[in-house]
Amino acid sequence: MTPVPLDKKIFARTALAGCALAPLLAANAPALPSGLNGTRPNVLFILIDDLGATDLQCLGSDFYETPNLDKLRAQGMLFTNAYAAAPVCAPARAAILTGRYPVRTGITDVFMPKKAVRMTRLVERVTGRNFAPEEVTLGDLMKKAGYATACIGKWHVGDSPGSLPQDKGFDLVVKTPRKDDAGDYKQIRKFTQAAIDFIDANKDQKPFFVYLSHNAVHLPFTAPPDLIEKYEKKLKPGMKHNYPIYAATIEYLDRETGRLMAELERMGVAKNTIVVFTSDNGGRASNWEYQLVTTNLPYHGGKHNVYEGGLRVPTLMYWPGRISPNSTCKTPFSQVDYFTTFAALAGQDVSKNPILDGVSITPLLEGRKLPPRALYWFYPHYNIAALYGKSSIYEYARPVAAVLKDGWKLVEWFEDPLQVELFKVDEDPCEYTNMAAHRPQKVQELRALLEAWYPSVGAKLLEQRKDFDPNEENSVLWRWGEARYESVTDEYAPPEMKDYKPVRTPKK
C-alpha cells in the first residue's frame, strides 16, 4: 500500500464523469413489481444532529424522557444496526443525500478553517465543502419522481451557488436565519411548524418528501428553562445519562416530534407516509463545559470515531399498515442506502447505477432479508480539537478506515497500517476485545476487502510527512490502542469475550 496524495477533486470529478443528472435519473422505470417498491408513499425524513444510539428512553436511557418517540418505536420498526456513513456531520449528510460513500462526493469531514498548529505524521488534505454541481441529491430524485420537496433546517453540504438545497431539487428551503441561532431550541418548533405547513399545503396535490433536519441536539445546548429545572431535580448519582440541559433538549425535541405525528394523523396523511427518524452520527461522548454530554454505552466511543458509538445511530421507521408495529430489525444498513430505498419507494429504478453505493432496504421493512454485503468507512482526518491540543480521548480521531461484514469489523489506522483492530461487533458491541491477534485470517480477509474498495471509490491514502519528528515538542503521535475507552468496563463485556485477553495498550 503506497500512500499517495488525497485529492478530493479527483473523487468528485472521476466519480461523476459522464454521469450527470440526466443519465442517473433518466431511467423512469415503471414501478418494480414486488413488495413495497414503487408504492409511492409520502416520505418524512427526520434527521437529528448528534443524537446517540441510546439517547431515547426506549433505547436504554435512564434519564431522558421521550414518550412520543417511544410511541413511534412501538408503532414501527427499530433498526438496532443502522450505521452512519461517517462519524461526523457533513460527510454523513453527503452520504444520506447522494447514496454515495462520502469520499466519492469529496466531502470527508466537517469543513472548518484548520490551522494545524501541531505536526502530524500524515499530511492531511482539506475536505471538500460543497457538493459538486453534478452531484444528484434526494431532492433531485424525489422532485423528478413527482414529489413536492422540502429541505427544512440544517444542510451543511454546501454554501456556495450550485450546491445549495434550492439548487439540488428542493422546492421549499427553510433554514436558520443566522448561524448563531443554530443552538436555539426554539428552532426545533419553527422547523417542525414549517414541515407541518408544507405538508398541509401539498397533501392534496402530490406526494411529499420532507427532509426535516434539526440542528438539535448538537451543541451549544439550550432548552426551555422549566425542562432544565425538571432534569436538575431528577438527576441522581449513578445515572448513565446525567446532563440536564441535554436531557431537556431531547424532551423538547420529543414533544415537537409528537406534535408533528399528531398533525399527520389530523391531516389524514399518516397512513400513506413513511416516517424515518434518525441521527447523522453517534452521540457526543465528550465534554462540553466540563460535563460529559452523553454516553453511548454499551457501544464504544462516540462522534468523531469509527467505533460503534460513533457510527450506530438511533433509527425508527413508521408506516402504518406496511411496517409491523413494535418490530425490530438487526440487519446492518448504512446511510448510503436511503437514496436507493427512497428511489424504489418512489418508483425510480436507480438500482443498477454504478455511481451509487447503497441498496434498497425495502425488504427489511417487510421483515425480509438483504443479501450479505460489506459496509465501509473512510475518514482520512485528524480531529480538529486534537490539532489544537485540546482533544479528550472521546474526541479522538486520526485517519482511519473500517469495514464491517458478517458481524466482524476491521479498523485500520493509516498512521501505522500494520496495526489493526478486529471486533466481533454482533457479539461484542462494546468492542471490548480486539480479536486481531486471535483471527489473523479474518484480518486478512477484511483487509483484502478494504484494499479492493479504496480504488473503487477513489479513496487515496495520505502521504507520510517526510520531516516528521515524533520527539519534537509540537508533534502529535498517537500510538495505536491509546484511545481505548476507560469507560468500556467489564460490565459491558460479553462473557465469551472475557475468554480472550483484551489486547490493549495502557494510557500514557
Q: Which residues bind Ca ion (CB under 5 A)?
A: 49-50, 89, 280-281
Q: For residue 495, what is the DSSP state? A: G
φ, ψ for residue 233, nearest 5 deg:
-75, -30
CB of 474 to Ca ion, least distance (A): 30
- What does the chain come to in residues? 508
Q: Which is nearer to Ca ion, 99 or 282 (CB)?
A: 282
* Minimum gap (Å) between residue 154 Cβ and Ca ion: 9
Amino acid letter at 305? N
If the CB atoms of residues 280 and 428 are measured against Ca ion, the closer one turns out to be 280
CB atoms within 10 A of CB 5: 11
**DSSP per residue, 392-454:** -GGG---SEEEEEETTEEEEEETTSTT-EEEEETTT-TT-----TTT-HHHHHHHHHHHHHHH
Output DSSP code: residue 375.
E
Q: Smallest distance, Å, CB 94 to Ca ion?
A: 12
**What does the block give as the cell for 101?**
460513500
Give dist(CA 83, CA 308) in Å, integer: 9
Phi, psi dihedral angles at 286 (to 5 degrees)? -140, 175
- What is d(CA 297, CA 230) in angstroms, rounded to the nearest whole number? 24
* Residues facing 423 on adjacent strands: 409
455 Ramachandran zone, left/alpha/beta (phi>0; psi -120 to 50) = alpha
Q: How many CB atoms lie within 10 A of CB 271?
A: 13
Residue number, 96 or 365, with CB nearest to Ca ion: 96
State the minimum distance, in angstroms, from the CB of residue 455 to Ca ion. Answer: 29
* Whole-Å CA distances, 8 to 11, 58, 73, 112, 222: 5, 40, 39, 16, 36
Cβ neighbours, 10 Å, residue 326: 10
| Residues 281/89, Cβ–Cβ less than 8 Å | yes
Nearer to Ca ion, 104 or 156 (CB): 156
- Distance CA(406)–CA(426), nearest Å, equals 8
**What kind and span of H or E run contains 275?**
strand 273-279
Q: How many Cβ atoms from other residues are within 10 Å of residue 159's Cβ?
A: 11
Half-sphere exposure of 388 (CA within 13 A, CB side): 10
Distance CA 503, CA 267 (A): 56
What whole-number distance in Å separates Cα of residue 222 and Cα of residue 215? Answer: 11
Cα–Cα dist 229/427, whole Å? 39
Is residue 279 packed enough to be buried (19+ CB in 10 Å), middle (13-18) or exposed (0-12)?
Answer: buried
Q: How far is the CB of 188 from Ca ion (least distance, A)?
A: 15
Tell me whether residue 49 or residue 256 sits nearer to Ca ion (CB atom): 49
To Ca ion, the closest distance from the beta carbon of 218 in angstroms equals 6
CB of 386 to Ca ion, least distance (A): 18
DSSP H stretches of helix in 277-367: 308-311, 337-345, 362-365
Give the residue at shortest CB distance from Ca ion.
Answer: 89
Q: CA-to-CA distance for 46 and 353, rounded, in angstroms?
A: 26
Whose Cβ is closer to Ca ion: residue 308's or residue 349's? Answer: 308
CB of 50 to Ca ion, least distance (A): 4
The nearer residue to Ca ion, 76 or 314, going by C-beta atoms, is 314
What would the grid cell of residue 202 be?
Answer: 401539498
